[in-house]
Amino acid sequence: MTHQQRSTDEPPTSGTDHPTRLAEALVRRDAAVLASYAMHGIDSAGRKHREPSHPYRSPFQRDRDRIVHSAAYRRLSNKMQVFTGELGDYHRTRLTHTLEVASVARTIGRALRLNEDLIEALALAHDIGHPPFGHAGEQTLDECLASDGGFGHNRQALRIVEQLEQRYPDFPGLNLTIEVLDGQAARIAESAARVAGQATGESPLLEAQVVDTADSIAYDTHDADDALQLGLLVLDELSEVPLWRETVARVRVRWSNLDRDQLKQAVIHELIDWQVGDVLQGARERLAQECVDGIKAVRRAPILIRPSAALAEQKQQLEQFLFDRVYRHPQVLRMRRRAQEALRQMFDRYVEKPELLPPRFGHRCRQFGVARSVGDYLAGMTDRFAMRQFGCPSEGLAPLKN
């Protein structure tokens, strides 16, 4: 699965991220540290817009840095993960979730001798396409743009890094490596294949597989943590879930006299550690069974970085529980309806009067059309800015009442 990929058989040139003499140490480091099935910087397919090599940063280090310094990444700090800011300030935002995914992913990647710089770049970029108000906002924009191709946060992330970010004079977007673009494209393909009930074709790089797995580990664990802290769930309710119940049993083997807060924290830690250990054990076994010795073998093999069948079933039970009891909690649904109505009204207003958009969107309207440009504008908003534009108080939606 490639994204405008050029041949890796081309000789090194000054227009790619292949090493110069000053960067040879990075190549030697990759050779010494990374496994044969990892993506080495020297093997990168380069970038869509050619650039000189950097003297002391690998291509994937540059990707990571470009993402961190992008406007879209900064906006994640005020975009909700599941819960809006009116419920407090303990729970995750898109930014803190992203950092937790990167942390878990780097742990798995290091244990498997994968390219941690590529993993981190993929993790930091994976959610930058999310609009305000989480999946509620995504669903609303998808409905508003139904006649213009719809909206999905994975596709929007590619639009951002290829077109919408304007930070360099020589090219649009961030000009990330083909490998990072491919990793994001794989998320789009996987989502479409899941809806269609079809296979996705060749597998993505192991680094991309690690990020997908870490994302699942993070949101399963931390959504439960946030719901408990916010009082949407109590510990006794979660004991209905086999995965949570077994994790509690594991904790009590080590500690028998924990209070409820200590127990919650210990269970969260154990739940992450258990899942990571399960993934690593299974990955090592599959890598050996499939005789994976390079990138071509990774592409041919089935998905190798995933939970065991038993743990995957338990995770699905936890996710269904969270869907029924948290994501469909009356308070969450009430906030969701208000946020969706605000986005719908703003979309209609800006489509009717595109002159209300910031001046820089005039060119985008001519290039991409009014509806898509309005979608881009709304998707780039933070939760707070969206509600301020809609005419609500700057602190967000009105407090929810039972």
Tens digits of residue pLDDT in 173-201: 999 999 999 999 999 888 776 666 666 67
User: Is 299 a domain residue?
Assistant: yes
Output the pLDDT for position 44. 94
- Could you give the C-alpha distances from 137 to 65, 149, 150, 270, 372, in angstroms and in order? 28, 16, 13, 32, 15
CATH code of the domain covering residue 271: 1.10.3210.10
Q: Is 207 within a domain?
A: yes
Q: Report if residue 377 sits inside a domain.
A: yes
Distance, in Å, from the CA atom of 190 to the CA atom of 303, rounded to the nearest integer, reads 11
Token reading at 76: 């994640």
- Gap between the Cα atoms of 238 and 233, Å rounded: 8
In a domain, 75, yes or no: yes
Report pLDDT digits (tens) over 309-356: 999 999 999 999 999 998 888 888 888 898 899 999 999 999 999 999
Domain encompassing residue 297: 21-390
Locate tokens 């489509």: which residue?
351
**Residue 117 placed within a domain:** yes
Inside any domain, residue 122: yes
Q: Let me know if residue 398 belongs to a domain.
A: no
Which stretch of 3-17, 52-66, 166-180 has the lowest confidence by average pLDDT? 3-17
pLDDT of residue 196: 63
C-alpha distances (whole Å) from 285 to each of 169, 278, 292, 338 are: 47, 11, 11, 48
pTM of the full predicted structure?
0.89
> Which tens digit of pLDDT belongs to each residue from 232-243?
899 999 999 999
The domain tally of the chain equals 1
Residue indicated by tokens 């006794």: 236
The contacts of residue 302 (CB under 8 Å, 6+ apart) are 203, 286, 290
Does 43 fall in a domain?
yes
CA neighbor of 124 nearest in space, from 76, 190, 186: 76
pLDDT beyond 70 at 21: no
Q: Tell me how far apart the alpha carbons of residues 198 and 194 are, in angstroms, rounded to a whole number.
A: 6
